[in-house]
Amino acid sequence: MEAPTYSSKQVAEMLGVTPKSIPSELRKDAYGPEDVWELRTTLNRFPPTAGLRRQLFLNFKGGTGKTSLSTSYAWRLAELGYAVLLIDLDSQGHATKCLGYEGEDFEKTLLDVLVRKTPLAQVVQKSTLPNLDFIPSNLSMSTVDLALMPMAGREFKLRNALKDVEAQYDFIVFDAPPSFGLLNLNALMAANDLFVPVLADFLSFHGLKLLFETVQSLEEDLNHVLDHVFIVVNSFNATFKLAKEALEALQTHYPEYLLPTIIRQCTKFAQASSEGRPVFVADPTSKGASDIQAMLDNVLPRLVAAHAAAVKAGTATKAG
């Protein structure tokens, strides 16, 4: 994928300034990602810190939007100025594809880290944004669950492997495969926050029960408590009566987790992922892009406030 270019209006939005406040000698007709970063540094416009957040997009059910949402969320966080690492955990390599790369072109994946003790820094790749890195995935990752099985401390491999690099990032975003196994258990153990993309149908609704049981057993058996759990309704189409009913059921049963912002069904979104481009690059004015932005506008202040409160209380850990 070619590096994106931005108008001064877009750049101003990303920096949180008015277009007029960009000094005239620094103005351009089109900005590349490096120009934006330079401008950000010159104007010292960095977003408020939320500590280090490790955030997992997971649903054991397939096709609910884990990849579409995690990649566009990670991409937008980077556009807003955070240092982000996106980790593709899925042997389908879809997150890798959404950034414009083919998983099979990479020799090493997280499998080498978790199973062959390759340092994680050696599998990190640079994206077209200077502050967005990623770890690619390909078919070789499909053997990871089996390979982890006989290992001691097998649930903690990912969390431990991240320690070497995590100080460099504000957000580490994981895109999980739709399965129930050791890799996803590792991802849950490494995560502070969980995003659960769901479709507004009753099948998705039932799958949530298993996920919440798993989260609860993490707390009880492995002593790992997630800081935030966000259920995100994806691909919502208000013209379907069933979708509205399923949404109401979610509001009734999971009010404390359900995000008020909903990601609407959006053809541009689907098209963008098939073309290997994040929706913010394919069409920043699409419903998909504006809905992800609305989700960020809801979530980010909460993460920032929780971090500030933890710092004040002296309970902030390195993980935020």
DSSP assignment of 154-219 equals GGGHHHHHHTTTGGG-SEEEEE--S--SHHHHHHHHH-SEEEEEEESSHHHHHHHHHHHHHHHHHH
Shortest Cβ 151–Mg ion spacing (Å):
25
Q: Judged by CB under 5 A, which of 53, 54, 76, 94 binds Mg ion?
A: 94
Site for ligand ATP in 230-249 (CB under 6 A): 234-235
Question: Torsion angle, CA of 169/257/278/172, rounded to 10 degrees?
Answer: 20
Residue (66 or 277) nearer to Mg ion, CB: 66
Note whether 65 binds ligand ATP by CB under 6 A. Answer: yes
Note whether 269 binds ligand ATP by CB under 6 A. Answer: yes
103 burial type by CB count under 10 A (0-12 exposed, 13-18 middle, 19+ buried): buried
Residue (94 or 159) nearer to ligand ATP, CB: 94
Note whether 40 binds ligand ATP by CB under 6 A. Answer: no
Part of the chain binding Mg ion (CB under 5 A), chosen from 93-101, 156-164, 196-204, 209-217:
93-101
Shortest Cβ 25–ligand ATP spacing (Å):
41
Note whether 67 binds Mg ion by CB under 5 A. Answer: yes
Q: What is the 3-state secondary structure (H, E, C) of 112-151?
A: HHHHHCCCHHHHCEECCCCCEEEECCCHHHHHHHHHHCCC
The site for Mg ion (CB under 5 A) is made up of 66-67, 94
The site for ligand ATP (CB under 6 A) is made up of 62-68, 90, 94, 177-178, 234-235, 263, 265-266, 269-270, 273, 288
